[in-house]
Structure 1
Amino acid sequence: MPRSTTARIDLDALRNNYRAACERAGSAKTMAVVKADGYGHGIARIASALSDVAPKYAVACIEEAVAIRAAGLFQPVVLLQGVHAADDFADCVHRNFEPVLHVEHQLDWLEQGGYAPDVWLKVNTGMNRLGFRPDDLPAVMARLEKMSAGAKLQGFVGHFACADDASSPMTAAQTATFETATSPWPLLMKSVGNSAAHFIPGQPLFDWSRPGIMLYGGSPIVGKTGPDLGLEPVMTLEAPLITTRVVKAGESVGYGGAWVAERDTRMGMVAIGYGDGYPRHAGTDTPAAIGGRRIRLIGRVSMDMLAVDLSNAPEAGEGDLVELWGRTVGVDEVASCAGTISYELLTGITSRVPRTSY
């Protein structure tokens, strides 16, 4: 019989978060970002749960778009990295994928292949990862217009570098750059709104917003948790207590003797570790919960196990489930203790942990 370590996926919470994104997007339509295996929740499960409300999906790469089609879903899928080989444009045409063009060689492939997919252009407004600089747009547009196959340009996309930080002036600067760069083509659609942008008062989201982490209940805003923003946790990560014992005052627990008991302490070992994707750097005092009561980690997280202090849950025993994150303990809290962000935690849960949905 397998251990009961599980990631439980609340599909109602997912749909509620999507509706919240739509409300914040105002007149903009909302494409659901389901890349990275649906942020670790399972791309087929997530996309299927949103199929009756999401008019379009967004992913990073074509293999993720193929997984959506394998789930029997037919909404358009935007490929945020575009294509990685010339032949991929044929798949884009036949499977209704919408690649984002962000570099010259993608234009070369499009010209040489004679395909006419729906495409978007990425505008580099200052993040300097992908995209054409604003001054390059007229030449790029001229190339697209000359292509005999006539790729159908849907519009322009951008991406914000600092939208998670309300005090940063960069988002306003990037928005202004984007608006100026795309103004010669007012009939084409525009999309810049990541999750964080939904929470910036007065921020234009143009024609399409692209919520990601907020769909899964994680916070896109520095210093805020998902619940602070009215979002519901979608994943509850649970694992069983497999033993309990009393650690005597002066005794240590785990590798390196990193935690030493100041007094006799009842502790438990939980069947989850960094081999399952739980963060190794979540140390002593990282919160967890059992039976709705908050408890804490003690010592170092090992590959397959971690230790918890059961002082606040004296009735807990072997077989009881420990919530590592979920409704009692937010994933953003755990991420903060581990020195990272909820995006990494959710996408990092390994295949050793089964996902179940309800």
Structure 2
Amino acid sequence: MSVATLGAGARVTVDLGAVAHNTRTLAARARGELMAVVKADGFGHGAADVARTALGAGATWLGVTGLGEALALRAAGLTAPLLSWLNPLGEDFAAAVRQQVDLAVPSLAHLAAMPPGARVHLQLDTGMARDGAAPGEWGALFEAAREAEASGRIVVTGVMSHLAGPETARAVRSFRDGIAAAFAAGLRPRVCHLAATAATLTRPETHFDLVRTGAGLVGIDPSGGDTALRGAMTLTAPVVEVRRVPAGTPVGYDHTWRAARDTCLALLPVGYADGLPRAAGPWAEVLLGGRRCRVAGRISMDQIVVEAGPGVRIGDTAIVFGPGDDGEPAVGDWAAWAGTLPHEIVTGLGRRPYRHVIGGL
């Protein structure tokens, strides 16, 4: 056995050219404006980089979950309209007003907590029983919002909801009812928005004035369709050890894998602490030496072993996942092996892999 000299370990490459391509594709599908949702650090791709790229490629709004994410974008110099939609009552809403961040209001309590000058999007539950005011609360919320707006304390910029997936037609009807009730109460929101990436691509009747796309910006198509979105992230790792082993050699914790024949094993310094889902182990593959190589044994915290082909050497680079253009596994493959969503793979990467950004406008 030989060991590689110290050097770079796992590496994440983010392709902003792919983000720009995906934004243009999504903007072409949208019937109204497009919000680039860059929550969770731009789905693990870098919030500020993804935001700038998306704005340059057709997005007109930015969206995040928490106010902290929104203020970080403002600190990075991004001045586009920006919405934050999941905040506890104790949040510093005055900071949102100072930084011109719109806020979602899902309840009367949140409305009461809005400081003077707040720009709000009234958030309605249309079938998820998650965030947003329940239908029975809409009338009171609209009336209170009208009074607050009439007094000059707030501006009602939007009305919003979110689709659960099933029963989309029912949710659309419910949202239309909510918009009508808001107008009947005397409100005049500028943007009504319901659709996320999947509905942006497949359900134009859900688009209204604005669509919110996040996963699609980085190449994830939750609709399962074929829309030519391009994966924007590649994870690679170098080979740090190689060894020849005889048939029957066990590998890793609990010896869940044994060599079926005399073979070559390669060790890669990437594991579940870097975001590889441990549950994917029995099926996972990487691209190494021009061929798919199966993970041998369990995925460990810091490393995986793969059954490599002939000629693999220390210092060779394995593609753990990427766009799939060269036969490497895609993020969706890792999600399928782990029984999860691609979103969880890209947002779950740890801080250890070196980050490299390419492309852009």
**Secondary structure of the structure 2 residue equivalent to 1:156:** strand
**Pair 1:178–1:213, CA change in 2 (3 A):** same
* 8 A contact 2:89–2:113 mirrored in 1: no
Q: Which moved more, 1:301-310 or 1:244-253?
A: 244-253
Q: TM-score, normalised by structure 2?
A: 0.90
**Secondary structure of the structure 1 residue equivalent to 2:130:** coil
Q: After the TM superposition, which segments of 4 or more aligned residues of structure 1 sit over 6 Å from their partners?
A: none
Match of 2:157? 154
**Secondary structure of the structure 2 residue equivalent to 1:65:** helix
Q: Choose the corresponding residue for 2:281, options 280, 283, 289.
A: 283
The amino acid that maps onto 2:161 is G
Q: In 2, Cα distance between the equivalents of 1:39 and 1:10?
A: 13
Q: In 2, Cα distance between the equivalents of 1:193 and 1:293?
A: 39
**Secondary structure of the structure 1 residue equivalent to 2:235:** strand
Q: In 1, Cα distance between the equivalents of 2:257 and 2:132?
A: 48
Q: In 2, Cα distance between the equivalents of 1:51 and 1:182?
A: 27
Match of 1:16? 21
**Secondary structure of the structure 1 residue equivalent to 2:242:** strand
* 8 A contact 2:21–2:230 mirrored in 1: yes
**Pair 1:293–1:203, CA change in 2 (3 A):** farther
Deviation at 1:203, TM superposition (A): 3.4
The amino acid that maps onto 1:59 is V
Q: Choose the corresponding residue for 1:238, options 236, 240, 248.
A: 236
* 8 A contact 1:243–1:268 mirrored in 2: yes
Deviation at 1:355, TM superposition (A): 1.5
Q: TM-score, normalised by structure 1?
A: 0.90
**Secondary structure of the structure 1 residue equivalent to 2:267:** strand
Match of 1:259? 257
How many residue pairs were aligned? 341
**Pair 1:294–1:203, CA change in 2 (3 A):** farther
Match of 1:198? 200
Q: In 2, Cα distance between the equivalents of 1:2 and 1:176?
A: 57
Structure 1 residue runs of 5 or longer lacking an equivalent are: 163-167
The amino acid that maps onto 1:281 is A
Q: In 2, Cα distance between the equivalents of 1:319 and 1:54?
A: 41
The amino acid that maps onto 2:244 is V
* 8 A contact 2:107–2:141 mirrored in 1: no
Match of 1:81? 86
Q: Which moved more, 1:302-311 or 1:6-15?
A: 302-311
**Secondary structure of the structure 1 residue equivalent to 2:25:** helix
Q: In 2, Cα distance between the equivalents of 1:181 and 1:120?
A: 13
Deviation at 1:105, TM superposition (A): 1.7
* 8 A contact 1:252–1:261 mirrored in 2: yes
The amino acid that maps onto 1:207 is D
* 8 A contact 1:43–1:67 mirrored in 2: no
The amino acid that maps onto 1:322 is A
The amino acid that maps onto 1:130 is D
**Pair 1:73–1:205, CA change in 2 (3 A):** same
Match of 2:69? 64
* 8 A contact 1:285–1:298 mirrored in 2: no
Deviation at 1:82, TM superposition (A): 4.1
RMSD value over aligned CA atoms? Answer: 1.7
Match of 1:326? 322
Match of 1:268? 266
1:98-109 to structure 2, matched below 5 A, reads 98-109=102-113
- Percentage of pairs with the same residue: 33
Q: In 2, Cα distance between the equivalents of 1:351 and 1:84?
A: 30
Q: Does 1:216 align with 2:221?
A: no
